[in-house]
Structure 1
């Protein structure tokens, strides 16, 4: 019972102190919540499909190149950098989908040495 009371008091004290943290120079630290980018689900798909296509490779870098908007079909473009058997190479991934419904249409892979 006493331990439970001490734990509750400790938590309450922490909750009272944490919002008042400052950086030491009098400015307050604010922790903003990051917004999830619109391409996040396509990026996850690009990583997952790349792992399936190159199961023995390690993904060492990830880049969202951009989106090509179309009235009917749009394309999200990514570049992943892979390491496999001591060799590094890039893979461009283009994910095509219906613009309005976001239904997946096609995924294209293209290797590059840069």
Structure 2
């Protein structure tokens, strides 16, 4: 279990004001409660979970548009029998409980079903659909979505004076997807397009692919070329797939197939 750092009656957690680390002066009851749940600095918790899961974690660059005074985290590992292994980050305002917001991350392969909640689908763009739950007053609002590596669960309290609404949570989620998309090479993006399109076009499973390179046709047209291997039962097929797009708008123009 990860431990909080207790120094001279002060629980040290991440602060959103000034430096990364700051102090929070808490009453003894609240201090003990935070110690019991293993509160620690956000960066400490983030690195602990990255070490445990063996892969990098990307947090949304945006936050809901309300004030926070402090942030703290916890990396739950399997030695804790209460919860599945995951990262939890909590943002709070010391005098405005309606601003309480938290973020949980689970490995995508062990995502939380949350089937006991009644969700509505929300389109985030970037080929991603989120699920949104708006609970009764004095409970919570929740938005959950998955990337290739992680399931993200965003929570906000649902109080009469709360200003963190569905649009705020969607904006946070979209900021993450935009960041991931900017980091992803064009070849990976168009490679996914080529595989999905070819699989549907031939009604076969793509079992492997090879990137053949990028070719500039004109200032308005570029091509990403791939060789794909497809299989359906005993039938196997090799295909050259060319994805043609506008590099300025990143709009897909057409896809060509050439069987080898």
In structure 1, runs of 5+ residues without a counterpart are 22-28
Question: What does residue range 1-114 of structure 1 map to in structure 2 within 5 Å?
Answer: 8-9=37-38, 15=45, 18=48, 35-55=183-203, 57-69=204-216, 70-112=218-260
CA positional deviation for 1:76: 0.8
Structure with more of its chain in helix, by fraction: 1
2-side partners of 1:97 and 1:17: how far apart? 39
TM-score when scaled to structure 2?
0.32
In structure 2, runs of 5+ residues without a counterpart are 1-34, 59-179
CA positional deviation for 1:103: 2.4
Secondary structure, counterpart of 1:101 in structure 2:
coil
Secondary structure, counterpart of 1:45 in structure 2:
helix
CA positional deviation for 1:44: 1.8
Secondary structure, counterpart of 2:239 in structure 1:
strand
Structure with more of its chain in strand, by fraction: 2
CA positional deviation for 1:86: 1.0
1-side partners of 2:55 and 2:244: how far apart? 38
Segments ≥4 residues shifted beyond 6 Å = none
Aligned residue pair count: 100
CA positional deviation for 1:92: 0.9
